[in-house]
Structure 1
Amino acid sequence: MQRRYDIDALRAIAFALLILYHCAMLYVADWGWHLKSPHLSETLQLPMLFMNRWRMDLIFLISGLSVHFLLRGSSLGRFVAQRSWRLLLPLTFGCLVIVPIQPYAQGVANGLVEPGFVDFLLRYYRFQPWPQGAFDGWEYGFTWNHLWYLAYLWVYTLVFAALLPLFRNAWGRRLHGALASLRGWALIALPALPLAVASILLQPHFKDTGDLIHDWHRHAIYFTVFLYGYWLGNDSGLWQELVRLRRRTLALALGLFGFYLAMITLLPEEVSDGVQYAIWTARSLYIWAALCAILGWSHRLLNRPFRWLPWATEAVYPWYVLHQSLIVLIAYWILPLKFGPVAEPAIVLLGTVAGCFVLHEIIRRVAVLRPLFGLKARRVKADRPAPAALAVGTA
């Protein structure tokens, strides 16, 4: 089966945007984050809101696409074991080693943690509650911060594995066939309806807290798009339809975002249930239209073996694990130095990229570090090159 280069490229681009997004969280006005710069911008809210509504949906959809390809040629038990190893080990290592600088910096900035990182770690590893509001997750004694995605993805993997026999029976094949047969406006609109229903039913009752146990609104959204990715898979008809509709879905996504933005900007905070449901429905339609546009354009433009793609494909996981701790650490160091509104974000962004690059180059060369950052063991090169047929088959 030919490798889908567009999916590899789209994954790399999606996580690059995530790094840029988290850098910008330092500077967007009225949005809380672990640290905030004095150089805040209300103008930044518009592009941040534009990306915020679909950025994690896209990542979970790509995760579902990856599951579709990983399951080919692998037993279900082996798939679950391998995914658990590649998700839980980096999650555990990241929570214990990479993430702690974030609650430390936030706690010191909030005046609720005494300076001194070693003393903080000795207290942190006791996993007991901290003073209220010290940092995100203070009540649990620790936090996974940006690594919540790994925990959610692992749970979705287990739930998916349990449901897979249903997806493969007659009912599941009919459902997949119905989705694969969608064309035109049906493909653009119908998959958005479950997202809208989930928001209407669940968002009033469950806040987006990152609490795995009580985050049922986001679970409904993210697991749905995760399944969409799996069902989308390598169906050539669906992908060609997404390519055909790419201009239409892009225009629709931009129009829906404008409509959604007008509603949340011009309407008062307290609105009737009917108006609130309309806002959430417009948001869901925007999310799915944006995803369709991204998938269509990426398949049209990115499905080719770019020279940078093998390196970027490997770099995604370590960069994801490292980036937010580097952002927070660099900001913690330079905010007191009072750089200007141009120099400061430039230092944060360039420092984060440089730090991720250097650390990744070290990680990829050290066998014991590779699995801690989600990388597979480095293949041992044979003394003689493999025959061409075998080389292709193991790619």
Structure 2
Amino acid sequence: MERRHDLDALRVLAFLLLIAYHCAMLYVAEWDWHLKSTHLAEWLQWPMLAMNRWRMALLFLISGLAIGLYQPARHPGRFAWDRTWRLLPPLLFGMFVVVSVQAYCQGVVNGTVRPGYLEFLWRYWQVKPWPEGGFDGAEYGITWNHLWYLAYLWPYSLLLAALLPLLESGPGRRLQAAFGGLRGGALVLLPALPLVVYLNVLLPRFEPTNDFIHDTFQHAQFFTVFLYGYVLARSRAFWDEVVRLRWPLGLAAASMCVVYVGGLKSDLAFGEPGLAAMRSLRGLRGLFVWTTLLAILGWARHGLDRPFRWLPYASEAVFPWYVIHQSATVVVAYWLVPRALPAWLEASLVVAGTVAACLLGNEVVRRIPWLRPLFGLKRRPRSGGAQPEAVAVLGRGE
């Protein structure tokens, strides 16, 4: 299988962006999160909105691309088992151990949990409902918080495995070839059309919840993008086209971003917009999301497809960093926010503490054989050298 350095590098950058986004959630005004600083900034809403609409879609798209390159149709049963083994242990371990500290900190700050982490953990492990407002997911007794991505990626992967006979049939292959052969405006408009429909039909009825059962809009959006990735992964014509169009795609995405975010921040969007105005904004959002994804792929293919020296280590570290990062951010903020530090110092320490915890945690995890699968890593290569990790969080397999 061809090693796509651009997708490996893009995966690393996408998760670094996710970590930065979650650190910023501590400070953005009027947005709920597990904890909030006393230093809130309304201006942060602008860049956060610009990223919010496509950041998770990018992760699901890369997941689909990685699986498409792996070609699971050769061994669909092994693929389904591999996805289960690589995704479920980190999800369950993360929910019961890593994420529990987020629930504890949030519950203590909200006044619904008594201080004392071990006492909380014993109660948390019983998976019984907590008082309302204790922490996100308290009504279920346990939470997956930022690990919801794993909970969604696993069934998406199994559903894709079930669809493989259809996708790899004669008509399925012809449809894939036609999709990969889209050019110019058709490559932007046609794949964006389902996203626009979901935004106008499903989003008004099914707000994003991240609870899996009641998340119809997000399932429709993310599985569609995930499937796009699988279909387009091996289309040389597609990759040539996004590289060729990288400049107009980038400019179009930037322009749509300004118009869309400006529309959301206007008095019209936050007041009582008419139905036509809301449909226009949602339609623009669908085009903005898909155009941004295409632009990112085009520029990544153009500029990142080479074996950077840092890439093998970073590719392996992505999954442990992903599992650890938000719990680290919440714990650091839990200790720092009550100390009333200056905004610049508090934010710097939150970011530094998050990065330090991820670095240290990864170095511990990668050296302990029984911890590796609990953080999504394969067994250590016998040579002991750094190897590019086929990270399950993005659906890669070797």
Structure 2 length normalisation: TM-score?
0.94
The count of corresponding residues between Structure 1 and Structure 2 is: 384
Q: Is the 8 A contact 2:98 2:324 kept in 1?
A: yes
Q: For residue 72 of structure 1, report the CA deviation from its aligned partner.
A: 5.2
> What does 1:32-71 align with in structure 2 at a 5 Å threshold?
32-71=32-71
Q: Is the 8 A contact 1:317 1:375 kept in 2?
A: yes
CA distance in 2, matches of 1:347, 1:216: 38
Of the three residues 338, 341, 352, the one matched with 1:350 is 352
Residue 92 of structure 1: SS of its match in structure 2?
Answer: helix
Sequence identity (%): 53
Q: Is the 8 A contact 2:177 2:235 kept in 1?
A: no
2:91 counterpart letter in structure 1: L
CA distance in 2, matches of 1:176, 1:2: 20
Q: Is the 8 A contact 1:317 1:373 kept in 2?
A: yes
Q: Is the 8 A contact 1:9 1:313 kept in 2?
A: yes
CA distance in 1, matches of 2:272, 2:168: 45
Q: For residue 281 of structure 1, report the CA deviation from its aligned partner.
A: 0.6
Q: Which residue of 2 aligns with 1:339?
A: 341
Q: Which residue of 2 aligns with 1:89?
A: 89
Q: Which residue of 1 aligns with 2:107?
A: 107
Q: For residue 42 of structure 1, report the CA deviation from its aligned partner.
A: 0.6
CA distance in 2, matches of 1:73, 1:52: 33
CA distance in 2, matches of 1:130, 1:34: 16
Q: Is the 8 A contact 2:72 2:79 kept in 1?
A: no
Matched, 1:76 2:81: no
Q: For residue 249 of structure 1, report the CA deviation from its aligned partner.
A: 0.7
1:340 counterpart letter in structure 2: P
CA distance in 2, matches of 1:149, 1:8: 18
Residue 243 of structure 2: SS of its match in structure 1?
Answer: helix
Q: Which residue of 2 aligns with 1:162?
A: 162
Q: Which residue of 2 aligns with 1:128?
A: 128
Residue 44 of structure 1: SS of its match in structure 2?
Answer: helix
CA, structure 1 residues 193+126, in 2 after alignment: closer, same or farther (shift >3 Å)?
same
Q: Is the 8 A contact 1:80 1:158 kept in 2?
A: yes
Q: Which residue of 2 aligns with 1:250?
A: 250
> What does 1:224-243 align with in structure 2 at a 5 Å threshold?
224-243=224-243
> What does 1:1-395 align with in structure 2 at a 5 Å threshold?
1-71=1-71, 74-266=74-266, 267-268=268-269, 269-381=271-383
Q: Deviations over 1:43-83 (max 9, x none)?
A: 11111111111000000000001111223585100000011
Q: Point out where structure 2 has 5 or more consecutive residues left out of the alignment.
A: 385-396
CA distance in 1, matches of 2:221, 2:303: 28
CA distance in 1, matches of 2:151, 2:302: 32
CA distance in 2, matches of 1:360, 1:132: 34
Q: Which residue of 2 aligns with 1:385?
A: none
Q: Deviations over 1:11-36 (max 9, x none)?
A: 00000000000000000001100000
Q: For residue 203 of structure 1, report the CA deviation from its aligned partner.
A: 0.7
Q: Point out where structure 1 has 5 or more consecutive residues left out of the alignment.
A: 383-393
Q: For residue 275 of structure 1, report the CA deviation from its aligned partner.
A: 2.1
Ranked by relative contact order (alpha carbons within 8 Å, sequence separation 6 or more), the top structure is 2
CA distance in 2, matches of 1:273, 1:152: 31
